[in-house]
A = this chain, B = another copy of it.
Amino acid sequence: MIKALLFDVFGTVVNWRSGVIRDAGLIAKKYKINFDIEEFADKWRAEYQPSMEKIRTGKRDFVKLDILHLENLDKISNKFGLDIISSVDKFWLNKSWHRLPPWSDSREGLLRLKSKFIIGAQSNGNISLIVNMSKISKLYWDVILGSEVVGHYKPEPIAYKKACEKLDLKTEECLMVAAHNDDLKAAANEGLKTAFVLRSKEYGNKQVSDLNPSQDWDYVVNDFHELADKLGCNKEGYF
């Protein structure tokens, strides 16, 4: 019996690419820098997984994602002419990840799911990132778990295991909800139930990854409303 739903956030709940593009666009305008903003967003995101790898493999102590995002931004700034912006603007741009907009079904869908289950953010984002993002978009988590609470980055197996432990739940009582097959695969290995949500525009119009479930996940849905329907949540939501 499922008691809690644990959500991947970047790409699954929020549209990181459009959020980063929006804020990078404001910086481009302010400084009159001409660069390929979509490419910038993709390149920044491309540094995401490699930057966590040293921590996952124990070569570096845990630091929160805001720090990795800033290091990754520094790494690619020069290529896009962004090395000239002020520190204040750099920190502001780095916090674009705290301001990512949700997919259109996320807010209402989460409310419906909350009516029947504990809903938790199980993201690699740090606590303040998830709090600030959720506050802006009124995403009503019951609990923010994820990397800073469990001390590990997904898809490390212990990241999923510890999240369930924090809720006093068995892994099979938790459903991992993600738009990424590799996230679900790691969660399933620890015994969690799995729900694949198709987010075919996460990487824009040219997306090639995660357009289909790679395995026979417990649930395969097109959005959070379909997941709520399949899990027997009512239409009215939570309040």
Contacts and interface: CB of A to CB of B under 8 A. Distances in A.
B148 A135 contact: no
12 contacts: A118-B135, A127-B143, A127-B145, A127-B167, A128-B166, A128-B167, A128-B168, A128-B169, A134-B142, A135-B142, A148-B166, A239-B239
Query: How many chain copies does the complex carry?
Result: 2
A127 B239 contact: no
Given A166-B128, A167-B131, A140 B140 contact: yes
Closest 10 CB pairs of A and B: A128-B168, A127-B166, A131-B143, A128-B167, A143-B144, A131-B142, A149-B149, A118-B131, A135-B142, A140-B140
Interface of A: 66, 118, 127-128, 131, 134-135, 138, 140, 142-145, 148-149, 166-169, 238-239
Contacts of A144: 143-144
A142 B131 CA distance: 7
Q: Considering residues A134, A138, A144, A167, which has the most beta carbons from chain B within 10 angstroms of its beta carbon?
A: A144
Contacts of A168: 66, 128
Contacts of A169: 128
